């Protein structure tokens, strides 16, 4: 007893000593971190000096300006003012370099810098590490495994499936416009493109356009994209632990679960189908497998099959990439044609002379609509479905004009800026399909809706086919006009959307 009383001050002393050491260590660590951030900022400031930009606050960066004005519209002002590239300070030491010059694009896309993990990693809880997010050797192996899913033998019969999905949507539109000719088209087109990708890539046999589950999935995707964008721009939500405790983080977990329920169901259904008699044999006899079957039957280099986690990641990646991008593409193309009746009519005449009533559209028709293809490309220029893509420089880079960036810098290949850059495209806001006439010339990296180089879009051909089918069949049935009371405001939400929807007025053709 006596001893314990006597020992208390000693143990208290040792505890306070320990606390002192811990506080000292924390202080040193804090100072080290501050010094590291300071040096990083100085290094980035030095790099940024070569690239003029509007003045920014040392902590808030440019975020206050972006609160005052629409993001894309403000950034386009920078594109016009600052040549080739411009730093955008997010907060503190965080800066991204926006690039919008074809020579700059060419240099970056010719290298193999990894995706900018700082932003892309926030997509991982939703789409996992599939082809879009993977880097290095695992990416290479997955790309090689999945490339045969886009062989033209596979893509050919998809044209009929695409046409069926489009016709179903157009039938629905006929009913709807008898009450109101103005239609918000993005949501309908999203369901249609989801229907198509589910049937083509995932051997789904139901109809997504009428079933309730799919509407939930589309809504979940919308929420996840908004949550992603809000997180990327919130300094306090960068840390995983803090984010998970915040209401937005909890919502993110919940909505991810909803999206995964949809993809899990698709995998389960296909596995069940394959259990049916004869089904497995049918698949084995095919020369080329559909996307999901490639995944289910895959054998990696070492002979093991794809893990469940990797399989889910690919299904989530393709389910999202395979429908949301094309939905954006088709919606904006129809809007562009609605706003330019003279080009719309010329496309219609071309399609009528090719397809007659359009009862059947096949693979062979798709490269016989040159004028329509020119209009599609011009719409993809004005409204690229993916407005920007990010890379983290794995080594320093020097651009053709002599300016350079250090290793570790984050660059955004700002495709929307490139396509609206007046130095690359004279009168960039004018819709002029003749920019894509066979005789027209342009820089190899002036038009990049599908990116370029080894990490270009694997679904490019699929997407072009789907857009052609959708545009051709829509123009055969309807005359399109814009809704002057609701002019869409382009906004970047991973894919290009409109803040106030994309409204088009439809009139059934006789």
Query: Using CB under 6 A as the criterion, which residues of the chain lie in contact with ligand HEM when the complex forms?
Result: 115, 131-132, 143, 317-318, 321-322, 325-326, 329, 385-386, 389, 449-451, 455, 457-459, 462-463
Classify strands 94-99 and 410-413 as parallel, antiparallel or unpaired. Answer: parallel
Closest distance of CB 150 from ligand HEM, Å: 8
Give how far Cα 363 sits from Cα of 358, 360, 368, 375, 474, Å: 13, 10, 10, 19, 17
Of 48 and 330, nearer to ligand HEM (C-beta) is 330
Closest distance of CB 390 from ligand HEM, Å: 7
Of 232 and 463, nearer to ligand HEM (C-beta) is 463
Of 48 and 198, nearer to ligand HEM (C-beta) is 198
In degrees rounded to 5, what are phi and psi of residue 498?
A: -120, 140
Give how far Cα 110 sits from Cα of 64, 107, 386, 412, Å: 35, 5, 19, 15
Please identify which residue in the block is written with the tokens 């496309």. 347
Of 347 and 389, nearer to ligand HEM (C-beta) is 389
Tokens at residue 126, please? Answer: 């939703």
Closest distance of CB 178 from ligand HEM, Å: 31
Closest distance of CB 46 from ligand HEM, Å: 28
Give how far Cα 312 sits from Cα of 133, 265, 342, 371, Å: 13, 11, 46, 40
CB atoms within 10 A of CB 452: 17
HEC per residue, 98-141:
EECCHHHHHHHHCCCCCECHHHHHHHHHHHCCCCCCCCHHHHHH
Of 347 and 379, nearer to ligand HEM (C-beta) is 379
Of 326 and 505, nearer to ligand HEM (C-beta) is 326
Closest distance of CB 108 from ligand HEM, Å: 10
Q: Which residue is nearest to ligand HEM (CB)?
A: 459
54/52 Cα distance (integer angstroms): 7
Closest distance of CB 431 from ligand HEM, Å: 18
Closest distance of CB 328 from ligand HEM, Å: 7
Closest distance of CB 209 from ligand HEM, Å: 18
Contacts of 237 by beta carbon, 8 Å cutoff, 6+ apart: 230, 231, 243, 246, 248, 249
Alpha carbon 272 to its chain centroid, in Å, reads 31
Helices (H), 340-478: 341-355, 370-382, 415-419, 460-477
Classify strands 410-413 and 404-405 as parallel, antiparallel or unpaired. Answer: unpaired
Of 97 and 462, nearer to ligand HEM (C-beta) is 462
Answer yes or no: are the C-beta atoms of 436 and 341 closer than 8 Å: no
Closest distance of CB 465 from ligand HEM, Å: 9
Which residues face 184 on adjacent strands? 503
In degrees rounded to 5, what are phi and psi of residue 272?
A: -65, -40
Of 263 and 451, nearer to ligand HEM (C-beta) is 451
Of 90 and 376, nearer to ligand HEM (C-beta) is 376
């Amino acid at each position: 007893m006596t001893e314990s009383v006597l020992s208390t001050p000693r143990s208290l002393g040792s505890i306070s000593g320990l606390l002192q050491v811990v506080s000292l260590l924390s202080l040193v660590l804090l100072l080290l971190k501050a010094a590291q951030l300071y040096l990083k900022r100085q290094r980035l400031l030095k790099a940024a000096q070569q690239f003029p930009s509007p003045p920014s606050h040392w902590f808030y960066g440019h975020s206050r300006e972006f609160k005052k004005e629409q993001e894309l519209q403000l950034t386009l002002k920078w594109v016009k003012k600052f040549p080739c590239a411009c730093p955008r300070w997010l907060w503190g030491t965080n800066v991204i370099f926006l690039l919008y010059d074809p020579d700059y694009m060419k240099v970056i896309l010719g290298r193999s810098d990894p995706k900018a993990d700082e932003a892309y990693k926030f997509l991982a809880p939703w789409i996992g590490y599939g082809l879009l997010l993977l880097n290095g050797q695992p990416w290479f192996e997955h790309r090689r495994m999945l490339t045969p899913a886009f062989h033209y033998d596979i893509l050919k019969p998809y044209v009929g499936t695409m046409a069926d999905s489009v016709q179903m949507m157009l039938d629905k539109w006929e009913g709807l416009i008898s009450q109101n000719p103005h239609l918000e088209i993005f949501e309908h087109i999203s369901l249609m493109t989801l229907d198509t990708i589910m049937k083509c890539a995932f051997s789904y046999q139901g109809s997504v356009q009428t079933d309730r589950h799919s509407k939930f999935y589309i809504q979940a995707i919308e929420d996840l994209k908004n949550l992603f964008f809000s997180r990327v721009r919130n300094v306090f939500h960068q840390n995983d632990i803090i984010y998970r405790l915040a209401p937005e983080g909890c919502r993110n977990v919940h909505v991810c679960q909803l999206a995964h329920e949809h993809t899990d169901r698709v995998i389960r259904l296909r596995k069940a189908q394959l259990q049916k008699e004869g089904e497995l044999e049918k698949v084995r006899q095919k020369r080329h497998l559909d996307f999901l079957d490639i995944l289910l039957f895959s054998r990696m280099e070492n002979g093991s099959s794809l893990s469940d986690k990797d399989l889910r990641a690919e299904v989530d990646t393709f389910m999202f990439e395979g429908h949301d991008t094309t939905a954006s593409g088709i919606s904006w193309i129809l809007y562009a044609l609605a706003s330019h009746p003279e080009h719309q009519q010329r496309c219609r005449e071309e399609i009528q002379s090719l397809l007659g009533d359009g009862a059947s559209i096949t693979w062979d028709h798709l490269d016989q609509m040159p004028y329509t293809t020119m209009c599609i490309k011009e719409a993809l220029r004005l409204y690229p479905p993916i407005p920007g893509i990010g890379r983290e420089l794995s080594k320093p880079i020097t651009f053709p004009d002599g300016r350079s960036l250090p290793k570790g810098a984050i660059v955004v290949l700002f495709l929307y800026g490139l396509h609206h850059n007046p130095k690359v495209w004279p009168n960039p806001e004018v819709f002029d399909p003749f920019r894509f006439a066979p005789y027209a010339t342009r820089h190899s990296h002036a038009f990049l809706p599908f990116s370029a180089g080894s990490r270009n879009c694997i679904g490019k051909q699929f997407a072009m086919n789907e857009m052609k089918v959708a545009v051709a069949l829509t123009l055969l049935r309807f005359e399109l006009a814009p809704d002057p009371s609701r002019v869409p405001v382009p906004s970047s939400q991973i894919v290009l959307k409109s803040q106030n929807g994309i409204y088009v007025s439809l009139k059934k053709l006789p």
